Each structure stands twice: as structure tokens, then as C-alpha cells.
A and B are shown apart, each in its own frame.
Chain A
Amino acid sequence: MVAYLCQDREELLLEWLQMVEVDGGLWIGATAAEQEATAGKIYDICVECLDTLSYKDAEEFAQQVARRAVRGTITSERMLSGMLALRDVYWHCLLRHYFEEPKRLDEVLKLLESVMNRVLVILAMAFSIERERVINAQQGSIKELSTPVLRLRNGLLLLPIIGMIDSDRARQVTEQMLNAIRDFRARVVVMDITGVAAVDSKVANHLIQTVDAARLLGTTVVITGVSPNIAQTIVTIGVDLSRIETVGDLQGGLDLADRLLGYRVIIEEKAATQAAPMTVA
């Protein structure tokens, strides 16, 4: 069977390309030469699958196509209907060659059916995986935007956390914080959770892990705005509070951060009626 498909390659390729041409081609925007080259590649891979029953090449190729396609102008529908057309082309070819041997024809068509179905599934899966990967990447960008990391001054980052945190978000916050520490060489991070009402023990654990992970990068995390609720949760999960730096309010946290960074804060007293200006040494 494989021999026939190889021998008739030129003819069958042409037939296939003509079939998909009607639909607008496999690949919008590709030149005729590109279409032919890709079609040829697909043809050869299918024949190889039929020959060796090994799908490794098909899987690799499917991944490549999916990566290019998902960002561009191939849709999986177009590709899959193109593959079905190829199957039909093979089918007719085999019908022509084997029509005098019904038993053999039956065997051959069954094999063709099963192999081409498998290839179709491989292609569909590759598209699906790639689409998901792109969506995840985009969602990642959206999540990042919702947790700003502010660079206050050299070596000091402020990470205000607002709203609900679940395990997923906690993990994303940790990753963002660590990346920011690395990018800005921060020595202190003030993580303000005033805007967080409560956390479950799982998330409280994540917060502690964030502090530990930052420590591995040489950075101290000061947690500010810990509500009594959250403090209770942290104690309940058995964390020794002396392990983490917590300060009541944000300003207190920033002052502590300054001290940790080696700044001295000088408050100059003027007349009682004037506000006391602060200079940072």
C-alpha cells in the first residue's frame, strides 16, 4: 500500500491541493510554494505513519503547525478538513489499485482509516493544547496587572494586596514578588495586606512561604496591615510569629523598612504650630 502511495505521490498531491484550493487552501496567506511544501511534508508524514505505525514525527509536526497556526491564520477546522480531504485522496487511490482484490482492499482501507483517524486526533490535540497555552499566558498577564509591585526607592518594594486571595493568586503573587526582587535587587519588601479581610489556613501558609522564599533571595519581607482575624489564622497554623516581621500599619512598616535598609529618619522639631518636616538621611 505504501508503495502505491509513494509511487503516485505527485499526482495525489496535486489532487489534494486542488481539493483544498476550493476551500481557500490549507493556509491563508501562504504562497503557492509554501502550501505545496507544507502539503508535501504532511503527505510524507502520513505515509510514514502508515508505513511504520510510529506517530512520533506526526506529533512533532503537529506541535509545530499548531504553534504557528494558533497565532496566525490557520484554524483547526481548516486544517482538519484538509486532512479529511487527504484521507479521501488516499482512499480513492487505494480503491483504484486494489479493486480487483476485495479482501486485500478491505484490510488496506481499515488500516488507512485507523491511522488517519489517529493523525487527525494528534493534530486536534496539538491545536487544543497550544490554544490553552496561549490563553494561560494571556491570563497570566492579566493577573500580573492586578497585583502591582511598586518600587519606592532603591532596594525597597511595596506590594499592596487588595481583595480576595486564593491559593492560585497567592502563588502568582509570590512569583511576581520574587521576580521583582530579582529585577530590582530589593532588600526589603513591604507586603501590605490591609485590604485583605481574611484568609484560610492554606493561603496563610502561602504567605509564610512567600516570606521564606524571599529570604532565600536575601530579602526581608515586612507584612503590614495584618488584621486580628488573619493574625489568628497564622497563629493557628502553628507559625511562630517571631519568624516573620509584622507591623500594624503601612507607615510603621515603611519606617521599619527604612531602618532595615540602613536609613535613619530624622524628625526636625520646628515651632509647635508648624508641621514637623521629616528628612531621610
Chain B
Amino acid sequence: MDSETRVQINDEADILEARQAARAIAGDLGFDLASQTLIATAISELARNILKYARSGEILLRRTARNGARGITIVAADKGPGIADTELAMTDGFSTGRGLGLGLPGTRRLMDDFDLVSEVGRGTTVTATRWTRRS
């Protein structure tokens, strides 16, 4: 039972929409309130990155399941400038824009599974999943 929700990210109002959609889906899947907030926060970070570096992009929310556990998968994709050194991007302290330099590594901590794919000049895609039953 896979249903997807796509939110185009073009301005700040879209970030709110993406967060609310994620909360609704997470609530449905049985995530408690605290987890819903973690997920919504991850979305906020990813969506802001899209706006800041790529101007526009898309957040895809997907219900998923594995070994009896349910989860929500976030795919944040843009066709922006891309990240040259993805390993460096995943190290705490890295930042190319104004910021706390905590974006991606922090977001990874909020989620269970995390994958970053990026190519300079082509764009960036972050795929992250959080599960309801966690070890």
C-alpha cells in the first residue's frame, strides 16, 4: 500500500505545507507526537536547503513498510548547483552558505535511514526514512 504525496517547494509557504502533510501522514502511520515533530523538523531543514541553494525543488512523502514496521520516507530533490563533496557535507561543521553549518548531519540524526546523492550542476537528492518501531 504505497501512497505518495508531492509538495513543490518554491517558497516558504510550501515548507509549511510539506511539514503539515508529513505530520498528517506520520500521525496516520502511528508515530507519536514527539516523532511527528522530529519528522516535521527534518522536512523543514531539507526544504530550506532546497530554497536556499536551488531556489526550487520537490519534497516527496511516501508511506513504506519493512519487516512489519511502518515508516515514512522523505525524498527531497532539486536541480540546483549540487554539492561537490558530499562526504564533507555530512561532516558536522560544513557550510557553504550563511548558517550554523549543521544542516545535513543534524537531519540525518533525526531520521533512521539517510542517503545523499548529489552531482555538481545536476542537483541534489536526499532520501531519508524514519520507522515506527526502532531498535
**Direct contact between A and B judged by beta carbons closer than 8 A:** yes
List chain A positions with a Cβ less than 8 A from chain B. Answer: 63, 121-122, 125, 129, 132-133, 136, 140, 171, 175
B-side interface size class: under 10
Do residues B1 and A125 form an inter-chain contact, with CB atoms below 8 A?
yes
Instruction: Please tell me if the beta carbons of B32 and A122 are within 8 angstroms of each other in the complex.
Output: no
Task: Check B34 against A136 for contact (C-beta < 8 Å).
Answer: no
B30 in complex: contacting residue of A121, A129, A171, A175, CB < 8 Å: A129
Majority secondary structure of chain A interface residues (helix, strand, loop or mixed): helix
A136 lies within 8 A of B30 (CB): yes
Q: Which residues of A contact B29 (CB under 8 A)?
A: 129
Q: Could you list some 14 contacts between A and B, CB below 8 A?
A: A63-B28, A121-B1, A122-B1, A125-B1, A129-B29, A129-B30, A129-B70, A132-B30, A133-B30, A136-B30, A136-B32, A140-B32, A171-B34, A175-B34
Residues of B within 8 A of A122 (CB): 1
Closest B residue by C-beta to A129: B30
**Chain A residues, CB < 8 A from B70:** 129
Give Cα distance in the complex from A125 to B34, angstroms. 24
Q: Render B21-48 as a binary contact track against A, CB cut-off 8 A, 1 for contact.
A: 0000000111010100000000000000
Taken together as a complex, chains A and B put the C-alpha atoms of A105 and B79 apart, in Å, by 50
Question: Which B residues are in CB contact (< 8 Å) with A136?
Answer: 30, 32
Inter-chain pairs besides A63-B28, A122-B1, 12 sampled, C-beta below 8 Å = A121-B1, A125-B1, A129-B29, A129-B30, A129-B70, A132-B30, A133-B30, A136-B30, A136-B32, A140-B32, A171-B34, A175-B34
B68, chain A: closest CB distance, angstroms: 10
Task: Tell me, in angstroms, the Cα distance from A125 to B28 when the chains sit together.
Answer: 12
A182, chain B: closest CB distance, angstroms: 13
Among all A-B residue pairs, the 3 with the closest Cβ atoms? A133-B30, A175-B34, A129-B30
Measured CB to CB, the closest approach of chain B to A159, in angstroms, equals 18
Give chain A nearest CB distance to B69 CB in angstroms. 11
- CB of B100 to closest CB in A, whole Å: 15
Q: How far is the CB of A207 from chain B (nearest CB, A)?
A: 16
Cα of A122 to Cα of B1 in the assembled complex, Å: 9
Query: Which residues of B have CB within 8 Å of A140?
Result: 32
A221–B28 Cα distance when bound, in Å, is: 35
Q: Which of B58-102 contact A (CB under 8 A)?
A: 70
Report the separation of the CA atoms of residues A119 and B34 in the bound assembly, to the nearest whole angstrom: 32
Which residues of chain B come closer than 8 Å to A63, judged between CB atoms?
28
Report Cα–Cα, A268/B135, bound state, in Å.
54
Q: How many Å from the CB of A13 to the closest CB on chain B?
A: 28
Cα A235 to Cα B29 in complex, Å, equals 39
In this complex, which of B1, B29, B70 has the most chain A Cβ atoms within 10 angstroms of its Cβ?
B1
For A171, the chain B residues whose CB sits under 8 A away are: 34
CB closest residue in chain B, given A130: B30
Cα(A105)–Cα(B93), bound, Å:
67
A174 nearest in chain B by CB position: B34
> Closest CB of chain A to B106's CB: distance in Å?
13
Q: Which residues of A contact B30 (CB under 8 A)?
A: 129, 132-133, 136
Q: Report the minimum CB–CB distance from A213 to chain B (whole Å).
A: 11
